[in-house]
Chain A
């Protein structure tokens, strides 16, 4: 684009602005000037001026200022027959407008005229903009015209235009899956793959990939051998024009695309084809070396990792030797210095770990992965955590969970929540016994209490209380003892107080007769932390006091003053709880008291299998933002009502009867 003096001046003005405020002032001044010029109907702007002002607007827009006027003036330039103005119009359309903009309706005919025109440059502009915008309107109006170009009806033998038309169609297809029919296009795409033009192949592959994602591979079987042929040609014979050699590698993007396409098909049955595939995979895995040149490294490893993905897809169909090589390569990658390759290596390993038959390929690299868990780079650490999580099983759970716990104190805040959640899950799922699980959770709360979500300790309560008819009194005793010990410090995390208050009060009968312990000691240990707790926790501790003093009436002397003190508390929940318990202590309510403070029943068997932590993890992966503010997962209605962890006042129906 030949330079526009006015634009250059404006840009240097902005560059010379000393502060953000001055820049904003300058931009707003210019925008109001342009607004005035555009709305002045008496004097028409010259084409050059219009172009200049539109670029000024686009420049402001790029800097992050909202441009809410001039859209019509800008995109009307699409209708101009002159290339530079048309270009400006299309640029403005794809930058300023969104797919549902009402202005598009006004120019959709002009865009169509360009698409069906005989001018390659105009066709290219129009197709690019349609692809960039997408959207319903353009799909409905223009998809048939785009398809006509690809079918070769009318003028359309130019590769340049064809390639853009294919890409444009891919985008429109993403918008509306009905515009092309897979049964009919299977053959068409197969014909298109006969070309040797790399650009055309790339565009065709994108469309094919998108269609196979939607429809499966059945309609596209005829493409399979062609994909393989092209790949064979690139990898084995390096047959490609010198322009497409990128750091001596023949068109890496196409190789990657073709390898991705092969992953959509199952392993072939014909031996000759299988041997071709194996040969290609062999070649890719054996020729890739870590070199000094960063770009060469990226290129070759990009292909290699895609090949490994294909091998993962083929599972044990490929020869054992290839799989061993693949495992060895991964081991090497995760120990190299180059961080990008290490990152991708770990990512690939995490994928392997998800496959039951891929596990054996990564097992021996466990210690190497653990080193990456302490890498200063957060992206790499996250990947390492994923791998360890995936490869954990009964035999190595002790070691892996131990390692995760060790890394916890040094971990950065943005990985801690994930780390804590995964550790808790692994400890429950693969622990040798549940006592160990309790220990792990207590350590988690001690090291990173702020990152332990309520779900995690709720789960502990569920496990300790038991499911169905199975009650493990030994575990209950152990959990209560450990909770007591954890609270027997001058400082304990609030989550520990929450969990401890439940465990100690619910299972007090198992520990109260131990040496050095008595009901008063249990009360004291909770009361030590009570003053510094939040109201929410205080509510739970009050419930614990109530339960304890119900079992050991001597404690009433200590508990009643606490209840009484809080009957005037400013927090309504805490106040209500205190008033309820204060009254519940009276003799008149003995019958109700016995019922309210009865031992909690066990949880239903369903709960055992519906671990809320798993749901939470899935949830976190998708909605990390939402998960942070979200309340704990609601307790299912099929759970016995009295089995609720005492967050809400127990049995609300009865509470109301107290007429308070």
Chain B
């Protein structure tokens, strides 16, 4: 199960924070701060997986760095690590399609859209759709609905 999806930039500013498990507010901030510390420590040729049991017991951190953004998934041992790496790529491609060449500023100014797109990809900690054009289609429908109302 996916426990959390978090995006922060290389300076540690949160860009998207979504937890799929109940966690007290203070603890969330602490987790994100630790994730940031661990991610930035990784070298260029290191693998994209971090196991630091102090970070989140029984969970593995899988992250990818895109330009200025770290996209971080925290998952339990039932997930396939490389599959999650793919999923991160799909998420970025979806964002890219929705924002037309996504950059950090798009996420900064349109958090609601980023959250809506994530909702179509991951739901309750489980992957529901991986087809980029399908997600794109749904999000277009949503925008149409939005305009109508």
The one of A62, A170, A252 that contacts B17, using a Cβ cutoff of 8 Å: A62
Q: Nearest chain B CB to A203's CB is how many angstroms away?
A: 6
Interface range on chain A: under 10, 10 to 19, 20 to 34, or 35 or more?
A: 35 or more
Of the residues B14, B54, B116, B119, contact of A64 by C-beta under 8 Å: B14
User: Is A109 in the interface zone, CB < 8 Å from B?
Assistant: no
Q: Is B133 an interface residue (CB 8 A)?
A: yes
Q: Given that A64-B14, A305-B82, A344-B82 are known contacts, is A377 also in contact with B142, CB under 8 Å in the complex? A: no
Given A2-B147, A340-B82, also A243-B46 (CB < 8 A): no
- Asked if B96 is at the interface of the complex by the 8 Å CB criterion, the answer is no
A55 to B20, CA, bound (A): 20
Query: Which chain A residues lie closer than 8 Å to B82 at the CB level?
Result: 298-299, 301-302, 305, 340, 344
Contact B46 A302 (CB under 8 A): no
Given contacts A83-B149, A164-B128, contact A253 B111 (CB under 8 A): no
A305-B80, A343-B49 given as contacts; is B109 within 8 A of A253 (CB)?
no
* 8 A Cβ contacts from A1-33 to B: 1-3, 8, 11-12, 15
Please state if B112 and A302 are interface contacts (CB–CB under 8 Å).
no
Chain B contacts with A in 1-31, Cβ cutoff 8 A: 1, 13-18, 20, 22, 25, 28-29
Q: Which residues of B contact A246 (CB under 8 A)?
A: 86, 90, 130
Known: A15-B108, A59-B111, A302-B83. A202 touches B47 (CB 8 A): no
Quick one: given A256-B83, A298-B85, A342-B47, are A171 and B57 in contact (CB under 8 Å)?
A: no
The reply to whether A62 and B90 contact each other, CB–CB distance below 8 Å, is: no
Q: Is A340 touching B130 in the complex (CB atoms < 8 A)?
A: no
B20 and A132 within 8 A (CB) = yes
A117 at the binding interface (Cβ < 8 Å) = no
**Alpha-carbon distance between A66 and B24 when the two chains are bound, in angstroms:** 10
Query: A244–B47 contact, CB under 8 A?
Result: no
Contacts of A127 in B (CB 8 A): 123
Q: Is B138 an interface residue (CB 8 A)?
A: yes
- Check A131/B124 contact, CB under 8 A, given A83-B145, A243-B134, A302-B81: yes
Establish whether residues A379 and B115, one from each chain, have CB atoms under 8 Å apart when the complex forms. Answer: no
Q: Decide if B57 touches A623 in the complex (CB within 8 Å).
A: yes
- Decide: A66 and B86 in contact? CB cutoff 8 A: no
Instruction: Say yes or no: is B69 at the interface (Cβ < 8 Å to chain A).
Output: no
Chain B 83-126 per-residue mask, 1 if CB under 8 angstroms from chain A, else 0: 10111011000000000000000001111110110010001111
Q: Mark A181-222, 1 if CB is under 8 A from B, else 0.
A: 000000000000000001100110010000000000000000
- With both beta carbons as reference points, the residue of chain A lying nearest to B119 in the complex is identified as A128
The answer, yes or no, to whether A411 is at the interface (CB within 8 Å) is no
Known contacts A11-B108, A244-B130, A302-B82; A170/B124 CB under 8 A: yes
Tell me if A376 counts as interface (CB < 8 A to partner B).
Answer: yes
Assembled-state Cα–Cα distance A170/B15 (Å): 29
CB-defined contacts of B45 to chain A, threshold 8 Å:
339, 376-377
A64-B14, A95-B18, A376-B46 as given contacts; A168 in contact with B86, CB under 8 Å: no
Question: Which residues of A lie under 8 Å from residue B90 when comparing CB positions?
Answer: 246
Which residues of chain B are near A253, meaning CB under 8 Å?
Answer: 83, 86-87, 127, 130
When the two chains form the complex, which single residue of A64, A83, A379 contacts B29, counting CB atoms closer than 8 Å? A64
For chain A, residues 105 to 138, give those with C-beta under 8 angstroms from any C-beta of chain B. Answer: 121, 127-128, 130-132, 134-135
Cβ of B42: which chain A residues have Cβ within 8 Å of it? Answer: 377
CA distance A59 to B111 in the complex (A): 8
Contacts of A55 in B (CB 8 A): 111-112
> How many of chain B's residues touch chain A, expressed as a range?
35 or more
CB distance from B125 to the nearest CB of A (A): 7
Is A340 in contact with B49, judged by CB distance below 8 angstroms?
A: yes
Judged by a CB distance under 8 angstroms, whether A280 is at the interface is: no
How many Å from the CB of B63 to the closest CB on chain A? 11
Contacts A15-B108, A132-B123 known; A295 to B89 CB distance under 8 Å? yes
A168 to chain B, nearest CB (A): 7
Q: Write out the residue numbers on chain B whose beta carbons fall within 8 Å of the beta carbon of A167.
A: 123-124, 126, 128
- Does A577 have its Cβ within 8 Å of any Cβ on chain B? no
Alpha-carbon separation in the docked complex, A302 to B18 (Å): 25
- Give bound CA distance, A302 to B13, whole Å: 31
State in angstroms the CA–CA spacing of A163 and B78 once bound together.
21
Instruction: Assess whether B53 is in contact with A624, with CB atoms less than 8 Å apart.
Output: yes
User: Could you say which of A8, A85, A171, A344 contacts B126, with CB atoms under 8 Å apart?
Assistant: A171
Contact of B86 among A260, A298, A305 (CB under 8 A): A298
Query: What 1/0 flags go to A75-93 for Cβ under 8 Å of B?
Result: 0000000111101100100
B12 to chain A, nearest CB (A): 10
- Is residue A486 contacting chain B, with contact meaning CB distance below 8 A? no
CB pair B54 A624 closer than 8 Å: yes
| B contact residues around A135 at 8 Å (CB) | 22
Instruction: Give the interface SS of chain A, mostly helix, strand, loop or mixed.
Output: helix
Is A625 interfacial (CB 8 A cutoff)? yes
Provide the residues of chain B in CB contact with A231, threshold 8 Å. none
A251 within 8 A of B: yes
Residue from A84, A302, A621 within 8 A of B146 (CB atoms): A84
Cβ–Cβ contact B43 & A377, under 8 A: yes
Residues of B with C-beta under 8 A to A202: 127-130
B8 to chain A, nearest CB (A): 10
A237 at the interface (CB under 8 A from B): no
Is A98 part of the contact surface with B, judged by Cβ < 8 Å? yes
Min C-beta distance of B56 to chain A, whole Å: 11
User: How close is B122's CB to chain A, nearest CB, in angstroms?
Assistant: 9
Contact A82 B47 (CB under 8 A): no
Q: Does B48 contact A (CB under 8 A)?
A: yes
Q: Closest residue of chain B to A127, judged by CB?
A: B123
Instruction: List A contacts of B109 (CB < 8 A).
Output: 3, 8, 11-12
Interface residues of A in 272-302 (CB under 8 A from B): 295, 298-299, 301-302
Tell me, yes or no, whether A311 is within 8 Å of chain B by CB: no
- Asked if B140 is at the interface of the complex by the 8 Å CB criterion, the answer is no
A380: interface (CB < 8 Å): yes
From A85, A100, A131, A252, B123 is in contact (CB under 8 Å) with A131
A622 on the B face (CB < 8 A): yes
Q: Is the CB of A377 within 8 A of B148?
A: no
Q: In chain A between 232 and 253, which residues have their CB closer than 8 angstroms to a CB of chain B?
A: 243-244, 246, 251-253
> Closest CB-CB distance, B143 to chain A, in whole Å?
8
Binding site for B on A (CB under 8 A): 1-3, 8, 11-12, 15, 55, 58-59, 62-64, 66, 82-85, 87-88, 91, 95, 98-100, 121, 127-128, 130-132, 134-135, 160, 163-164, 167-168, 170-171, 174, 198-199, 202-203, 206, 243-244, 246, 251-253, 256, 260, 295, 298-299, 301-302, 305-306, 339-340, 342-344, 347, 376-377, 379-380, 382, 414, 621-625
**What are 30 A-to-B residue pairs whose CB atoms are below 8 Å?**
A1-B112, A1-B116, A1-B143, A58-B111, A62-B14, A88-B112, A91-B115, A95-B18, A100-B22, A127-B123, A170-B124, A170-B126, A243-B132, A246-B90, A253-B87, A256-B80, A295-B86, A298-B85, A302-B83, A302-B85, A339-B46, A340-B81, A342-B47, A343-B81, A344-B82, A377-B42, A377-B45, A379-B50, A380-B46, A625-B53
Beyond known contacts A163-B129, A199-B131, A622-B58: 11 more, CB 8 A cutoff: A1-B146, A62-B15, A82-B149, A85-B149, A132-B124, A203-B128, A206-B126, A243-B132, A243-B133, A251-B130, A340-B85
